[in-house]
C-alpha cells in the first residue's frame, strides 16, 4: 500500500462518501468542509427530489445514484462495483437531520486510524446488545471507515450477517454512539424552520419574487384599500384632494407593475434553466 508523504510523514489517502437525500441547503458547505480533510469527496444521492445532486455537481463533486437500503453490506457492494480509483481508506457518512457538521472532524480522525473496518452506529439508551451479536444490516449508520480489504469482507456477507462473522484477520472496531438528549436552543434564521430557510435562500439569491413581488403586493393592496376611502371622503375638488388621489392611483399602479415584473422575471428564469439543462450549459461561473 502506497501512502502519501507530507513533510516526511506518511499520510493515508482518504475518500469521503456522503449518503444524503434532499439537503440542498447544506450540501455545498458539507462538501467544502469534507474536502479540507480528504483527497476526494463523492455524493451517493439517495433519491433526492430537490437540487441536492445539481448543487453538488456544480462544485465539482462526483455524484452517484444510490437506490439501495442504507446498510453496510449494500454500501460496500456499491462502492466495489462503482469502478472507483483505489485508495487507502474510505469514510462513509450518512447525512441525516440529526447529523451535525461539527461531527465531521471526529469522523475524519477515526478514518486516519489504522482500522480495516471502523463502524459507529447509533443506539438508544435502552439497547444493550453486544457488538458480536449485532446484525449489521439493521444498524443505524453514523460513520463507516473501510479499507479495500474491509470493503470486500462486508460486501460478501449475507443480509442477516452478524458482526461476529467478519473475518478475524481484519482489524475491526464497532462502536455504539448513544443518542444524546437534545436540549432546546436558540436557532438561527437558517435553521429555525423550513420557511426561514426558504426566506434566507431567497434573500441570498436575490429572488425576483422577493425583490419585486413582496413590495409590489404591499403597494397594490395599500393603494387599492386607500383608493375607495380617498374618493369617498374628498368631495371637494382642490389641489390637495387631486394630489392625494393621484398618489393613491400611482401607488396602486406601481404595486401592480412590481407584481408583473416579479412574475415575468420568475418565468424567464425558469425558461433559462430549462434551456441550460437541455444544452448542458453551466449554470454558474
| Confidence class for position 257, pLDDT limits 50, 70, 90 | confident
Q: Which pLDDT belongs to residue 132?
A: 65
Q: Which pLDDT belongs to residue 5?
A: 44
* Cell of residue 198, nine digits: 426558504
Residues 248, 253, 256, CA angle at the centre, nearest 5°?
130
Model pTM above 0.75: no
Asked if residue 201 has pLDDT above 70, the reply is no
Classified as helix, coil or strand, 70 is: coil
Q: Which pLDDT belongs to residue 54?
A: 93
Mean pLDDT of the chain: 77
Asked if residue 4 has pLDDT above 50, the reply is no
Asked if residue 175 has pLDDT above 80, the reply is yes
Q: Which pLDDT belongs to residue 184?
A: 54
Instruction: Tell me which of 97-101, 180-184, 233-237 is least confident.
Output: 180-184
Contact 124, 181 (CB under 8 A): no
Range 4-178: architecture per CATH:
Alpha-Beta Complex (3.90)
Q: Tell me the angle at which helices 214-233 and 239-278 cross, rounded to the nearest 10 degrees.
A: 160
**What residues are paired with 93 via a beta bridge?**
18, 143
Residue count (the chain)? 285
* Cell of residue 63, nine digits: 455524484
Terminal-to-terminal C-alpha distance of the chain: 39
More confident position, 203 or 251:
251
280: alpha, beta or left? (left if phi > 0; alpha if psi -120 to 50): left
Give Dmax (Cα) for the chain. 99
- Closest C-alpha to 85, from 6, 148, 12: 148
pLDDT average, residue stretch 63-79? 91
Count of other CB atoms within 10 angstroms of residue 245? 16
Report the alpha-carbon distance of residue 241 to residue 263 in Å, rounded.
34
Positive/negative CA dihedral, 9, 171, 105, 58: positive
Amino acid at each position: 500500500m502506497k501512502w502519501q508523504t507530507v513533510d516526511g510523514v506518511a499520510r493515508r489517502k482518504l475518500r469521503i462518501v456522503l449518503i444524503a437525500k434532499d439537503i440542498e441547503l447544506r450540501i455545498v458547505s458539507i462538501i467544502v468542509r469534507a474536502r479540507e480533510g480528504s483527497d476526494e469527496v463523492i455524493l451517493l444521492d439517495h433519491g433526492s427530489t430537490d437540487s441536492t445532486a445539481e448543487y453538488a455537481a456544480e462544485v465539482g463533486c462526483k455524484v452517484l445514484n444510490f437506490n439501495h437500503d442504507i446498510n453496510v453490506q449494500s454500501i460496500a457492494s456499491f462502492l466495489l462495483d462503482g469502478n472507483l480509483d483505489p485508495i487507502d481508506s474510505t469514510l462513509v457518512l450518512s447525512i441525516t437531520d440529526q447529523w451535525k457538521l461539527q461531527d465531521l472532524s471526529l469522523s475524519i480522525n477515526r478514518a486516519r486510524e489504522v482500522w480495516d473496518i471502523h463502524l459507529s452506529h447509533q443506539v438508544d439508551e435502552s439497547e444493550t446488545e453486544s457488538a458480536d451479536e449485532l446484525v449489521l444490516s439493521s444498524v443505524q449508520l453514523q460513520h463507516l471507515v473501510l479499507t479495500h480489504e474491509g470493503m470486500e469482507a462486508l460486501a460478501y456477507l449475507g443480509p442477516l450477517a452478524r458482526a461476529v462473522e467478519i473475518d478475524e484477520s481484519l482489524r475491526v472496531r464497532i462502536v455504539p454512539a448513544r443518542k444524546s438528549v437534545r436540549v432546546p436552543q436558540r436557532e438561527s434564521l437558517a435553521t429555525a424552520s423550513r420557511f426561514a430557510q426558504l426566506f434566507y435562500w431567497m434573500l441570498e439569491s436575490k429572488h425576483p419574487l422577493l425583490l419585486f413581488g413582496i413590495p409590489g403586493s404591499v403597494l397594490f393592496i395599500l393603494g387599492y384599500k386607500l383608493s375607495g376611502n380617498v374618493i369617498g371622503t374628498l368631495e371637494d375638488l382642490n389641489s390637495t384632494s387631486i394630489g392625494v388621489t393621484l398618489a393613491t392611483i400611482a401607488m396602486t399602479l406601481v404595486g401592480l407593475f412590481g407584481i408583473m415584473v416579479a412574475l415575468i422575471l420568475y418565468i424567464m428564469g425558469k425558461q433559462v434553466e430549462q434551456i441550460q439543462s437541455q444544452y448542458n450549459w453551466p449554470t454558474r461561473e
